[in-house]
Amino acid sequence: MAEKTYLQAISDGLRGEMRRDKRVFVIGEDVGVYGGAFKVTQGFQEEFGPWRVIDAPLAETAIVGGCTGAAIMGMRPVAEMQFADFVSCAWDHLVTVAAKQRYRAGTPVPIVVRCPSGGGFSGGPFHSQNPESSFAHIPGLKVVCPATPEDAKGLLVSAIEDPNPVLYFEHKHLYRRIKADVPDERYTTPFGEARVHREGDDITLVTWGAMVYTASEAANQVAEEDGTSVEILDLRTIIPWDRKAVLESVEKTSKVIVLHEDTHTGGFGGEIAATIAEESFEHLDAPVKRITAPDAPVPFAPTLEKAFIPQVDDVVAGIKELAAY
Amino acid sequence: MAIAREAEPVGSLTEVREFGLDREDLLGIYRHLLTTRGIEERGHILYKQGKIPGSFYTGRGNEAAAVGVATAMGPDDVGTPLHRDMGVHVVRGVEPWRIFAQFMGRMDGPTKGRDGNVHMADDRLGLIAMVSHLPAMLPVAVGCALAFRIREEKRVALGWFGEGASARGDTHESMNLAGVRRLPVVFICDNNQWAYSTPTHLEYAVEHIADRAKAYGFEGVVVDGTDILAVHREAKKAIEKAREGGGPTLIECLTLRMEGHAVHDDAFYVPKEMFEEWAKRDPLERFRTWLRENAEFTDEQEDEIRAEVKKLLNDAIKRAEESEIPDASTLLDGVFATPEDLDTPHHK
């Protein structure tokens, strides 16, 4: 066990799988000589050579489509999108071929697409997005959003093991900011099991990715100011998502907030809220509350971006409003 | 002025023997051609009888291009054939009764009723099922070749596309990546001159699609797609070159789509003279004549092969009609793969 950044945990998880299983290879833009735009694959090409750490042309369709072909031939490809935003260029391939090949043709497609996502550092409209809900809507794809270094490693190992296409959203704002103990040995973190980030009795707050930390700060603040006890559930994976854990927590607290950095309409929070309404209506003491980014592109200027991404103050206000309901 | 090499027609039996086909192989090829056309003709009848749901596509005019390439593939090679390439499935050994079951949406079709028409493949035979979005399978073929290159296996991937699909970015990205990495892949363009109703001059502005190969750093070849022996020779050359580390080739097989885009389409937009001209170059008739003139192909032999194919298709339709209809309760089976699904030869 050693303290590692979120980024080191991803890097270690990937390196470990590449050492263990020669079917695993990495392909993406600038992943080889440069070590990746965020240095997740730094030193990989020296260790594994240019045919397992492949610098690709600027061509996301060919990168991800190529991974599908290689996977069908028995490899375990891990593609890196330089930014999650660029996965839009591979969207057609993912939803048209990769997602449907098992269902219609019986051919499993075990690929992982790593997508550095999220904002908070003036990346602007094309280096800040959280497109997880778009993929959550496509049957056949799995969607993973780790928040902690330990989960980042364990979920990546699970994603590589999984026989399906997995979108792995790693939040850029957590890369070097978040440090925690990470087991040295190999382990997997199961898909579809939420993690209780903080136990509480009054309000359930369901979230994932970088918003786990925003929620945590807000929960500390309301605990101090009002004595409100917030339970934070970190979903960890969006597809599959842990309905059971969410519904059990709702049964306990009777009030629930869903928080995400993605935009509002069609965001995955809507699915969670609808499920709670369908399954747990009689346990609710207040309407389900969503705190999300507004329906706008991610803006560049720090003032605008701060107004766009849910902040601790926004979550505190939401908790107080719901507590008073 | 063409940039791509324009392949010569094939002459004598001696020349054919030089690229590795003996007389038995030639008769086998004729059988594959008849089977391919027979499956589609019989399928069309079944469609009109209401026994096939959805829509129905044929590859009439493209049989030689498909069979010619597929017979040049090695047993461990793989490919992503499209909707005009029934002949590839036939050559690789997909049994006709399973193809009819696929048309009818039955459990014994390769997709078990999950997908229709030629959207099928048997991955145990080295084929990967196409999707409607053309040319979405080219990056997949390139990825297969990438796996072979990483593992240093002497295998080749074949990726099919049409002249319509050549207009999309997937084609460019695939060829560029394959060229940059000199991957063991052969691109086959079925240029049947009509993308639904769109003629070639509205799809591309070069003389030949194969001219583009030079821009990706590899060879382009244009071949008469109705000349099965020329197609076979060029495919064989390209596949073996790729196998030996010589990188990709783009082969453009020039044909005419002799029917509509699908059977609902009467192709009124194709000039009548064009159909008449290309009808004279019917790939089956052309090969039959060649066999008679060069390989002592007799009436008795032909009758024998025709009778054999007729029986094969009759039995196939009967067996397909007996195949189970998918039960609605299985609707959600297989949306996600399970670890057991990876228990295939590819994933060992």
- Is pLDDT of B348 > 60? no
A187 part of a folded domain: no
Whether B88 and B64 have beta carbons less than 8 Å apart is answered as: no
Would you place residue A260 in the very low, low, confident or very high pLDDT band (cuts 50, 70, 90)? very high
Report the C-alpha gap between A306 and A297 in whole angstroms. Answer: 13
- Is pLDDT of B135 > 60? yes
Report the C-alpha gap between A77 and B84 in whole angstroms. Answer: 31
Residues of A catalogued as catalytic: 127
- The verdict on A163 and A205 lying in the same domain is no
Put simply, the answer to whether A59 touches B123 (Cβ < 8 Å) is no
Q: Number of folded domains in chain A?
A: 2
Put simply, the answer to whether B123 touches A105 (Cβ < 8 Å) is yes
A118 part of a folded domain: yes
Distance (Å) of CA B297 to CA B19, B145, B294, B339: 20, 39, 8, 52
Residues paired with residue A166 on neighbouring β-strands, in sequence order: A112, A142
Residue B2 confidence (pLDDT): 86
Report the C-alpha gap between A72 and A105 in whole angstroms. Answer: 12
Alpha-carbon gap: A106 to the closest alpha carbon of chain B (Å): 7
Nearest to A69 among B131, B147, B338 (CB): B147
- The verdict on A40 and A109 lying in the same domain is yes
B 70-109 residues inside an 8 A Cβ radius of A: 78
Q: With an 8 Å Cβ cutoff, is B231 touching chain A?
A: no
* pLDDT single digits (tens) B307-327: 999 999 999 999 999 999 999
Q: Is the pTM of this model over 0.90?
A: yes
> What would the mean pLDDT of A269-292 be, rounded to a whole number?
98
| Residue of B76, B146, B158 to mutate, testing the A interface (most A Cβ within 10 Å of its Cβ) | B146
| Residue of A67, A73, A93 to mutate, testing the B interface (most B Cβ within 10 Å of its Cβ) | A73
Would you place residue B343 in the very low, low, confident or very high pLDDT band (cuts 50, 70, 90)? confident
Report the C-alpha gap between A106 and A321 in whole angstroms. Answer: 50
| Per-residue 3-state assignment (H helix, E strand, C coil) for chain B | CCCCEECCCCCCHHHHHHCCCCHHHHHHHHHHHHHHHHHHHHHHHHHHCCCCCCCCCCCCCCHHHHHHHHCCCCCCCEEECCCCCHHHHHHHCCCHHHHHHHHCCCCCCCCCCCCCCCCCCCHHHCECCCCCCCCCHHHHHHHHHHHHHHCCCCCCEEEEEECCHHHCHHHHHHHHHHHHHCCCEEEEEEECCEECCEEHHHCCCCCCHHHHHHHHCCEEEEEECCCHHHHHHHHHHHHHHHHCCCCCEEEEEECCCCCCCCCCCCCCCCCHHHHHHHHCCCHHHHHHHHHHHHCCCCHHHHHHHHHHHHHHHHHHHHHHHCCCCCCHHHCCCCCCCCHHHHCCHHHC
Q: With an 8 Å Cβ cutoff, is B161 touching chain A?
A: no
Report the C-alpha gap between A310 and B272 in whole angstroms. Answer: 65
Domain ranges of chain B: 21-192+231-322
Nearest to A140 among B123, B335, B346 (CB): B335
Residue B347 confidence (pLDDT): 63
- The verdict on A233 and A152 lying in the same domain is no
Report the C-alpha gap between A94 and A22 in whole angstroms. Answer: 24
The H-assigned helical ranges of chain A are 6-20, 44-48, 60-72, 91-92, 101-105, 132-136, 149-161, 211-226, 243-253, 268-280, 302-308, 312-324
Report the C-alpha gap between A42 and A48 in whole angstroms. Answer: 11
- The verdict on A146 and A259 lying in the same domain is no
Distance (Å) of CA A204 to CA A3, A123, A318, B113: 29, 31, 12, 44
A188 part of a folded domain: no
A314 part of a folded domain: yes
Report the C-alpha gap between A108 and A77 in whole angstroms. Answer: 13
Q: With an 8 Å Cβ cutoff, is A183 touching chain B?
A: no
Confidence check on the interface: ipTM exceeds 0.95, yes or no = yes
What tokens appear for A149 in the block?
């270094």
Whether A112 and A63 have beta carbons less than 8 Å apart is answered as: no
> What would the mean pLDDT of A252-272 be, rounded to a whole number?
98
- The verdict on A156 and A248 lying in the same domain is no
Would you place residue B346 in the very low, low, confident or very high pLDDT band (cuts 50, 70, 90)? low
- Is pLDDT of B345 > 70? no
Residue A39 confidence (pLDDT): 98
| Residue span of the structural domain in which A56 resides | 2-182
Name residue B317's amino acid: I
Whether A239 and A136 have beta carbons less than 8 Å apart is answered as: yes
- The verdict on A171 and A24 lying in the same domain is yes
Nearest to B170 among A61, A70, A108 (CB): A61
Biggest CA–CA distance in chain A, Å, is 60
**CATH number of the domain encompassing residue A45:** 3.40.50.970
- The verdict on A118 and A50 lying in the same domain is yes
CA angle B206, B209, B215 (to 5 degrees): 80
- The verdict on A280 and A148 lying in the same domain is no
Cβ contacts (< 8 Å) between B128 and chain A: which residues?
Answer: 69, 72, 105, 107
**CATH number of the domain encompassing residue A315:** 3.40.50.920
Residue of A nearest to B76 (CA): A73
B 140-159 residues inside an 8 A Cβ radius of A: 140-150, 157
Residue B344 confidence (pLDDT): 67
Mean of per-residue pLDDT scores for chain A: 98
- The verdict on A146 and A260 lying in the same domain is no
* pLDDT single digits (tens) B19-66: 899 999 999 999 999 999 999 999 999 999 999 999 999 999 999 999
Count of beta carbons in the 10 Å neighbourhood of residue A317: 14
Cβ contacts (< 8 Å) between A21 and chain B: which residues?
Answer: none
> What would the mean pLDDT of A4-15 be, rounded to a whole number?
98
Alpha-carbon gap: B228 to the closest alpha carbon of chain A (Å): 28
Would you place residue B11 in the very low, low, confident or very high pLDDT band (cuts 50, 70, 90)? confident
* pLDDT single digits (tens) A21-31: 999 999 999 99
Q: With an 8 Å Cβ cutoff, is A307 touching chain B?
A: no
Residue of A nearest to B336 (CA): A140
- Is pLDDT of B1 > 80? no
Counting Cβ atoms within 10 Å, is residue A214 exposed (0-12), middle (13-18) or buried (19+)? buried
| Residue of A22, A51, A72, A100 to mutate, testing the B interface (most B Cβ within 10 Å of its Cβ) | A72
Nearest to A72 among B115, B144, B348 (CB): B144
Element holding A100 (H helix, E strand): none
Q: With an 8 Å Cβ cutoff, is A136 touching chain B?
A: no
- The verdict on A210 and A176 lying in the same domain is no
Residue B10 confidence (pLDDT): 84
A189 part of a folded domain: no
- The verdict on A200 and A145 lying in the same domain is no
B 13-32 residues inside an 8 A Cβ radius of A: none
Would you place residue A255 in the very low, low, confident or very high pLDDT band (cuts 50, 70, 90)? very high
Domain B21-192+231-322 adopts which CATH fold? Rossmann fold (3.40.50)
> What would the mean pLDDT of B247-260 be, rounded to a whole number?
98
Would you place residue B266 in the very low, low, confident or very high pLDDT band (cuts 50, 70, 90)? very high
Would you place residue B292 in the very low, low, confident or very high pLDDT band (cuts 50, 70, 90)? very high
- The verdict on A238 and A149 lying in the same domain is no
